[in-house]
Structure 1
Amino acid sequence: MAFVLLLIIVAIVLGIVGVVAKGLLYLLIIGIVLFIADLVYVGVRWSRRPGRRPVR
């Protein structure tokens, strides 16, 4: 889960730098793509997670 949080932070930082710095719009685009990829990754992990196993 730490990897997912790291990717979200990187995506936000790239987006902010891409908006603030003139001529670095590609960083904003990379940040958006990274954020969407991270959301897809989390969705796939949660959908494949099996239900709770009964306690023996």
Structure 2
Amino acid sequence: MLKWAIIFAVIALISGLLGFSGVAAGAAGIAKILFILFLVVAVVMLVLAMLGGKAIGNALK
């Protein structure tokens, strides 16, 4: 997901430099959505990993 967010951000930058403002706005919007989705999934996975690590640590005692 992060890879696609970076790709769309680069597309937005290039199209903005070339004067295609509509394409740049669309690509920037998609990049923002993908980046936010990436952050949400990353935080959820981090929390699940921390909770899973505690459960495994308690099982080993």
Fold shared by both chains (TM-score > 0.5)? yes
- Which of 44, 49, 53 aligns to 1:48? It is 44
State the TM-score, normalizing by the size of structure 2: 0.59
Provide the secondary structure at the position in 2 that maps to 1:36: helix
- Which structure 1 residue ranges, 4+ long, deviate > 6 Å from structure 2? none
Contact 2:5 2:32 in 1 (8 A): no
- Which of 1, 4, 13 aligns to 2:2? It is 4
Structure exhibiting the larger radius of gyration computed from Cα positions: 2
Residues paired across the two proteins, number: 52
When you count helix as a share of all residues, which structure comes out higher? Answer: 2
What is the root-mean-square deviation of aligned Cα atoms in Å? 2.0
The share of aligned pairs that are identical, in percent, is: 6
State the TM-score, normalizing by the size of structure 1: 0.62
| Structure 1 stretches lacking a partner, 5+ long | none
Q: Partners of 1:14 and 1:31 in 2: how far apart?
A: 6
Q: Which residue of 1 aligns with 2:13?
A: 16
